[in-house]
């Protein structure tokens, strides 16, 4: 997958304990979480997943369009 933006969100392992930016749930070191570089926030899997999925779908849609031309 081509990455066009440096601020693409990503799924990663928590390097240091922090809290979900939405619900405040504790994110333990080593736990999976979503990170959005554009606003420098970490989200737990529950809060981050809907937005992350939307992002992936948008990227997929754009790549489908690119394919067609
Ligand atoms: Zn959360």
Q: Is position 5 within any domain? A: no
Does residue 29 form part of some domain? yes
- For residue 2, is it within any domain? no
Dump pLDDT digits (tens) for 11-69: 999 999 999 999 999 999 999 999 999 889 999 999 999 999 999 999 888 888 776 65
Cα of 66 from ligand 1 centre, angstroms? 34
How many A from CA of 4 to the centre of ligand 1?
A: 27
How many structural domains comprise the chain? 1
Burial 6-38 (b: 16+ CB within 10 A, else e): eeebeeeebeeeeebbeeebebeeebebbbbee
Q: Evaluate whether residue 3 is within a structural domain.
A: no
Query: Would 27 be classed as within a structural domain?
Result: yes
Residues whose beta carbons lie less than 5 angstroms from ion ligand 1: 20, 22-23, 25, 44, 47
Domain extent, residue 52, equals: 10-68
């Amino acid at each position: 997958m081509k990455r066009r933006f440096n601020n693409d969100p990503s799924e990663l392992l928590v390097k240091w304990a922090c809290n979900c930016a939405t619900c405040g749930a504790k994110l333990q070191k080593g736990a999976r979480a979503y990170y959005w570089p554009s606003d420098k926030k970490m989200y737990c899997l529950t809060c981050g997943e809907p937005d992350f999925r939307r992002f992936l779908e948008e990227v997929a849609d754009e790549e489908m369009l690119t394919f067609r031309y």
